[in-house]
Structure formats: structure tokens, C-alpha cells
A and B are shown apart, each in its own frame.
Chain A
């Protein structure tokens, strides 16, 4: 019996050996195929990031943390965090508030859906500078918008829509809307339409179907859209300069970093500000993802999908 077992084992090993021998080779080929991507990521992301991180702890004067201490102890510098949040959060929230119902209404295929989707996506192709230029002439004191309001006697004096926080929020909203909308549209189109029908057969009216079924299932999409829009708007720079008050209420964190680097030529301090910026973004993303996992369970498709 023992002998038989032994024979069986050795036979099994003999059979298994060629397959095991094949595996490392496939592994190395796989790694080799990954190499270009890995090198690119290392060279273009990790190296600059860690270079900046190291640089930020190597101030021109003072101890290791001098740059961070200087940033947080200077009220004007510290205020840039609040300034940026006051732009990024409203722009992102407005986008979600508009895009969620819109994507929901467009969840089913209908004639002209692609054309409408295309129209919504146009701002993505324009770039912030072009949007800012357009807004300056459209929303300016003598722009069409205020002229029209004046003609209709809706306002006594021109509305101040540029060169302040409002202007920057409008431009960020326009620029980031396509991304938010497309993400949500993709998510909502992927939800099994039978789920809504099932809810309807169970007596749920339109609002209840949205509130109880579709909205909860859209949460992963909403979280993703929020994260991407927030990160993009938190890094705002050109619109804050062109459409805001870059010395005042729209002096965002990116402007502070730019001034450190190119007005004071203190790359180390600029790196520290950039790291602070990244830290805040990571913090907000962590909060969003935590909230998502709290609010949502299960996949968005029904049944066995």
C-alpha cells in the first residue's frame, strides 16, 4: 500500500513538473510586457512626486519642516486652502446636482441621445483658457448677458459675474460638467432597466423608483464623479487668475505654489505647498470612498451579473 502511494506520488510529480517549469517563464514574459508601462509610470509620476516630496523637506533656511511651518503659520498662505475649497466644492456639487437628474432622464436609449450627449461634452474640448475668454466677454459688465438683463429691465446695474468667486465657479462648472455627466450616464445606463420595472410593479411611483432604487445604485458613480471633479477643480489655476481675484478671494493654493516657485524662486517651498495640496485631495478622496462603502452594497446589475 505504502509503496503504491509512493509510486502514485512520484508519477504525479513527474506529470506536474513540466507545467511548473513553464510558469516562471510566462511570469517573466508578463513582467517584460509590463515594463514599458511600469517605466513610464515610474519616470513620469513616481520620480517627480518623490523628488518634490524630498525637495519640500529641504528648505532654503531652517529645519526640515520649515516650509510647512511657514505655510501654515502665514494667514494669507493658509487661507488659500479655504479659497480653493470654496471654489472646488460648490463647482463639484453644482455639477452633480445638474448631472444626476439629467443622466437619469437620459438613461434609456432614445432618438437623438448621441447628439445631445455630444453637445454636453463640447466644453471638454474647449479648455479652461478659451472658456475664460468667452466668459469675460459674455458675462462682463458690458457683455451680452448683462445687456440682455438690462434690456429686459431685470436688473438696475450689471451683475458682477466675473473677476470674483462666482466667475471662477461658473467656469469650473462648465469645464468639469462633461466628465461628471459622462461618468454618471455610463453608470445609470448600466443599471438593469428591469430593476425599475420591478419596483414599478411593486407599486413604486416615479420619485420612489428614483429615490429608493436608482439613486442608491448610482452612488458608486456619484462618488467617482465627485472625486474626479473635485481633484480637477482643486487644482484650478488659469480660471482663478483670469476670471477671479488672484490676489483676493480666489487666491487658490496653486497660485500660492506658483508664486513661491516663480516669483520667490523658492522651489522647496513650492514643493511643500504642492504636497499640502495633494494631501488635502487624498483626504477628501478618502472621505468620499469611505462614504461610498458605507452607503452602498452590491453590484449595480441585478441577478447573477
Chain B
């Protein structure tokens, strides 16, 4: 992820040209709702997915992303709303007749069937002729590089291999829509990265229209054409990874996408995008306004650790505060610092320089990086 100025972020959602033609033109979801025991798990969920697009539903657990996925799959009956594939409603169609593919978090491989039989299961259900079936199974096993494991049973495979079987099993049926429910969260960190690349590769080779559920922002940003950020059953923001990363629409979005420095502030003055705020401890800061804010309003100021500038004390300028390094975490690429200012505010910053706990520093918050949002209760 390269750091660009916010204005450089534009829509790049269209799939590249070299992909095979997607099997659907358009998935259209309107006003989807679902309640569990009086609790709204999903409210007014609207989403348009173009054929071949890779969409992530991103949010913390309990945000309704899996509920939305299960409603699309047909495993859950929505309380209201419409789901149309190419203009035809699928609500009321049982999952087995929707011709959607699904990959589960725990893989859900059939433990009593070999890799071969797991993969061919969907084709058997479709009554695909034997010869054609084995050809298609061969092809998809090559695609996920599991041909030599075809005789094995799921229990004999590693987690990554099992997930590849699960993907192959869903892909081989040529589903109209591919649904993935946190497929990588049971894998260890290294495998997760490998499988992420694998999923991206498969998507590019097969042009499958995909809806991918995850709570991992990195996964969502790296895989998707567009990210749907959810919170408490509601969509908070839809946009390209670049959009949601650089232009969070709310304090909640900023917080979830890695702006770990959030401060409650009060607006003192505003001039177009430029906004003056003051923190509870009295630090006056200049930031960039995001939302309708006026003097006297409560707001939330947010900045990413990598945008906080740390420098030796004495080079004081605007938007700076003197402080002391209290924690140093080595990350490989630079270090992460916890810095306490003299006014008892704690900032988290990334730095490539070598700092030690106790070092006196100046924390500088570049005004164009310090985003000020209306207080939506979801941030700080």
C-alpha cells in the first residue's frame, strides 16, 4: 500500500480485461434486514455487485457481515428486502438451487470422502457425466495444486491444503457467485498470506464474482475491488480499498482501518476543510474536516501511527507537542512508539529511527493527515 495524497484515491473497481467473462452481470441487494430475537443483526443492507467483482464485507464480529453472507447464500431467510441476480429474485429459492459456491471458515470438508470425492460432490449433485466430471476435477485440482493429494482424506491434509480443497470444491461447480466466510482465519500467519495470494490469483484466473467476509482489514484491502465496511448491522462505508483507507467516512471507519490515535476534541474554528480543534487537556490542533462541523461541536480527531511525525525536541512548529517515548516495539519495518505528551496524551507513532524509552521527543501531527470527524460514538 503506497501512501498517496487523499485526492489521488479514485475508483479502480473495474476488473482487469484479461479475466474470463463472469457468469452473472449483476447482483443487486436492497433493504435486506434480519433480526435475531428482536435484535437487528442486519438493517437496510443495500449492495450492488458487478459481475467479476471481488467485494469484501469488513467489520468486527457481530457487525452482521456473516448474517448478510448467509442471507445471500440462502442459509438464512431474511426478514425483509430483495436479492436479485441479473434482475431475478433468489429470495425463497433454497440454497441448493441458487448455484452459489461457498467456502467456510472451518473448511467443512466431508471427512468420510477423499479429496477427489469432496471436489466431485457438487458435480455429482448436478449429474455431470462421469468423463466430463473427472476432467473438471483434474483441472481444478491442478489449479489449486493438489493433484498428488487427490486420494487422501481431509484429516490427512494440512490446514492450508484443506482450505484449498474447500475452494476447489466450490469452484469446480462453476458457481454464479462465490461466497467466502472468513476462509483464512483458521490458518497461521504465514499460510494466511500465501492463501491470500492464492485466492487473489484464482479470482483473477476465473473471474468469479466474489463476496468475501472478513474482520481483517489487511485481507479486505489487499483482496478486494471494493470494501464494504459494516458496524452493528449497518453499512458504514463502501469504496475501493484506497478510498476507505485514505478517506475514511467516519471516526468508526478511521478507527477500524488503523487510525489508532483517536481523540475527543471540540471544534473552535473552521475555514472550509481546515479546522481548528482543542483537546480536553487544552492542546490546540489544526486538522482537516470530514463532515459537517462548526465551532462548539464535539468531534473526534484521528491520525494513523504512520502519519505521526516524531522528531527530537526543539524543532517546534505548529501542531506539535513535546513528550516522552514510553514504549518501543520493534516491528521489523521500523518501530512502533508509544509517546506520552506533557499534557498526558498518549500517541502511537511509527518511526524508522532508533528511539529508546525515556527519550524526549516532539510529536508532530500534520494537519492534512489529522482528520476530524463528527462524534458518531463509534470511534473514540
Q: Of residues 87 to 130 in B, which have CB atoms within 8 Å of A's CB atoms?
A: 94-97, 99-102, 104, 106-112, 121-122, 125-126
Is A300 located at the chain interface by the 8 A CB criterion?
A: yes
Please, how many angstroms separate the alpha-carbon atoms of A212 and B113 in the complex?
Answer: 10
Are B112 and A216 within 8 A (Cβ)?
Answer: yes
Which residues on B sit within 8 Å (CB–CB) of A21?
A: none
> B169 — which chain A residues lie within 8 A by C-beta?
198, 202
Q: Which residue of A lies closest to B122 (CB)?
A: A202
- Chain B residues near A200 (CB, 8 Å)? 75, 94-96
CB distance from A300 to the nearest CB of B (A): 7
Does the CB pair B155–A299 fall under 8 Å?
yes
Contacting residues of chain B (155-210) with chain A, CB-CB under 8 angstroms = 155, 159, 162, 166, 169-170, 173, 179, 186
Alpha-carbon distance A302/B113, docked complex (angstroms) = 11
Task: Report the Cα distance A300→B112, complex, angstroms.
Answer: 8
Instruction: Mark interface residues in A179-222 (1 if CB within 8 Å of B CB, else 0).
Output: 00000000000001011011111111100100011001100000
Contact B125 A208 (CB under 8 A): yes
Residue in contact with B106 in the complex, picked from A296, A298, A303, CB distance below 8 Å: A303
Any chain B CB within 8 A of the CB of A301? yes
* A302 touching B96 in the complex, CB below 8 Å, given contacts A197-B75, A217-B111, A217-B112: no
Closest to A212 in B: B121
The answer to whether B45 has its CB under 8 Å from any CB of chain A is no
Task: Quote the shortest CB–CB distance from A163 to chain B (angstroms).
Answer: 45
A residues near B94, Cβ cutoff 8 Å: 200, 205
Q: Does B106 lie within 8 Å of A201, measured CB to CB?
A: no
Encode B113-154 as 1/0 by CB contact (under 8 A) with A: 000000001100110000000000000000000000000011
**Is B32 at the interface (CB under 8 A from chain A)?**
no
The complex places the Cα of A195 from the Cα of B112 at a distance, in Å, of 11
Inter-chain contact B153/A302, CB cutoff 8 Å? no
| Cα distance A106–B110 in the bound complex, in angstroms | 21
Contact B159 A203, beta carbon cutoff 8 Å? no
Number of interface residues of B (CB under 8 A): 33
User: Which residue in B73, B99, B162 is a CB contact (below 8 Å) of A304?
Assistant: B162
| A76 at the B interface (CB under 8 A) | no
Q: Which residues of chain A have C-beta atoms less than 8 A from B108's C-beta?
A: 192, 194-195, 197-198, 302-303
Enumerate chain B residues within 8 angstroms of A199, measured Cβ to Cβ.
110, 121
Q: Contact check, A301 vs B111: say whether CB atoms are below 8 A apart.
A: yes
Dominant secondary structure at the B interface: mixed
Interface centre among B94, B110, B155 (most CB of A within 10 A): B110
The docked-state distance in angstroms from the alpha carbon of A213 to that of B110 is 7
Contact present for B153 and A297 (CB under 8 Å): yes
Name which of A199, A200, A201 has the most chain B CB atoms within 10 A of its CB.
A201
CB <8 Å contact, A197 and B102: yes
The distance from the CB of A301 to the nearest CB of chain B, in whole angstroms, is 7
Q: How far is the CA of A301 from the CA of B104 in the complex (A)?
A: 14
* A201 and B162 within 8 A (CB): no
A299 to B126, CA, bound (A): 27
Looking at A202, A205, A216, the one whose CB has the most chain B CB atoms below 10 A away is: A202
The answer to whether residues A298 and B112 also contact, given A204-B96, A303-B154 and a CB cut-off of 8 A, is yes
Known contacts A194-B104, A203-B96, A204-B125: A299-B111 contact under CB 8 Å: yes
Given the complex of chains A and B, what is the CA–CA distance between A202 and B360 in angstroms?
A: 61
Given the contacts A200-B96, A201-B100, A303 and B153 also touching, CB distance less than 8 Å: no
Residue of A nearest to B175 (CB): A201
Which residues of A are found within 8 Å of B111, using beta-carbon distances?
Answer: 195, 217, 297-302
CB closest residue in chain A, given B70: A197
**A33 vs B155: C-alpha distance when bound (angstroms):** 35
**Which chain A residues border B95 with CB–CB below 8 Å?**
197, 200-201
In angstroms, how far is the closest chain B Cβ from the Cβ of A261? 47
C-alpha gap A195/B110 in the complex (Å):
6
How far is A208 from B110 in the complex, measured between Cα atoms in Å? 13
Please tell me which one of the listed residues B109, B122, B162 contacts residue A203 in the complex, with CB atoms under 8 A apart. Answer: B122
Chain B hits for A297, CB < 8 A: 111-112, 153
CB distance from B32 to the nearest CB of A (A): 19
**Is A303's CB under 8 angstroms from B112's CB?**
no
Q: Once bound together, how far apart are the Cα atoms of A217 and B155, in whole Å? A: 14
Inter-chain contact B104/A304, CB cutoff 8 Å:
no
| CB of A56 to closest CB in B, whole Å | 43
- Give bound CA distance, A194 to B75, whole Å: 10
A192 / chain B contacts, CB cutoff of 8 Å: 106, 108
- Expressed in whole angstroms, the minimum distance between the Cβ of B171 and any Cβ of chain A is 11
Residues of B near A204 (CB, < 8 A) are: 96, 121, 125
Residue contact A202 to B121, C-beta cutoff 8 Å: yes
Cβ-defined partner of A302 (8 Å) among B75, B100, B101, B107: B107
Q: How far is the CA of A296 from the CA of B153 in the complex (A)?
A: 12
Q: Are A202 and B73 in contact (CB under 8 A)?
A: no
Assess whether B110 is in contact with A197, with CB atoms less than 8 Å apart: no
Contact with A along B56-77 (1 / 0, CB 8 A): 0000000000000000010100
Specify the chain A residue showing the minimal Cβ separation from B127.
A203
**From residue 19 to 70 of chain A, which have CB atoms closer than 8 A to chain B?**
none
A248-305 contacts to B, CB under 8 A, are 296-304
Which residue of chain B lies nearest to A202 when distances are taken between CB atoms in the complex?
Answer: B122
Q: Knowing that A201-B179, A202-B169, A299-B155 are A-B contacts, what are 5 other residue pairs whose CB atoms are under 8 Å apart, sorted by A's residue number?
A: A201-B95, A201-B101, A298-B155, A299-B111, A304-B186
Cβ-closest 7 pairs across A and B = A203-B125, A202-B122, A298-B111, A194-B108, A198-B108, A201-B102, A303-B106
12 pairs, A vs B, C-beta closer than 8 Å: A194-B108, A198-B104, A198-B108, A198-B169, A200-B96, A203-B99, A298-B111, A299-B155, A302-B108, A302-B110, A304-B106, A304-B186
Binding site for A on B (CB under 8 A): 73, 75, 94-97, 99-102, 104, 106-112, 121-122, 125-126, 153-155, 159, 162, 166, 169-170, 173, 179, 186
